[in-house]
Amino acid sequence: MTLVLSIVMPAYNEEDCIEKVVGNWTDFLKNKFPNEATTLIVINDGSKDRTGELLTAMATTNPRLTVINQPNGGHGNAVVNGYRKAVELQSDYVFQTDSDDQFVTEDFEKLWSKRRESRFILGYREIRHDASVRLFITKVLRGTISAVYGTYILDSNIPFRLIEGGFLKQLLNQLPNPEPFAPNIFLAVMAKKSGEKLYDIPITHKDRETGTVSIVKWNLWKVCIRSFRELLQFRIDLNDKVKALRSNT
């Protein structure tokens, strides 16, 4: 049977690197999976620069590229919409990464090699090139998840993850409504609590050379407070969500 693999990539105001990143990942798919059904799904999240224009042009000549243009809904919303498109394509596996050129294609194999051992595998930015406030918030988030859910995840929101397609569909069905700000965190928590081994595999994280971080300074703290509140609220429903996931195993 033909393998169906989709890569989900949100994009917002990345005109300086989007052509390079898309080229890297579609070339990677072509070389590693030459005879399989693979696609890179890029969700243009209402970019205000030329990101959408460049993506549309590339899609006309790149058969492994699927572009979704949507009004700005935030990184998490773009990721979820990309996941839903991957599920719609009946993907056997879904890999998610970002469009900011901070990850390398070579690290995909580290997760791919574990695909028969877990349905949900995470990378881990062991050396992370981000602002100090983001590093601090990640540590607080790690502690919060440990305290609230009794589970330890090194990098629960990392945009470098491999998920079995059928399991992703189940996870999406269990996401809180309304959709949380950082859905990748909730997916990771549900996967871990349902019994999956996440592995937390060390991967390369590069300095950002182009573009700008979309959430900075005070806004970053505001969205973190919102996420913490959503995590606390979700604790009430988590047991039922996990039971639903386990019943489908």
Q: Are strands 120-125 and 161-164 parallel, antiparallel or unpaired?
A: antiparallel
Q: What is the pLDDT of residues 135-157, one digit of tens each?
A: 676 777 788 888 888 899 999 99
For the entire predicted model, the pTM comes to 0.92
Asked if 95 and 111 count as a contact pair (C-beta separation under 8 A), the reply is yes
pLDDT bracket for residue 218 (50, 70, 90): very low
Among the listed residues 167, 180, 193, 142, the one whose alpha carbon sits nearest the alpha carbon of residue 249? 167
Domain boundaries, the chain: 4-247
Closest listed residue to residue 95, CA positions, set 4, 196, 204: 4
**pLDDT for the residue 116:** 97
Q: Tell me: domain 4-247, CATH 3.90.550.10, correct? A: yes
- Of residues 128 and 202, the one with the higher pLDDT is 202
Which amino acid is it at 11?
Answer: A
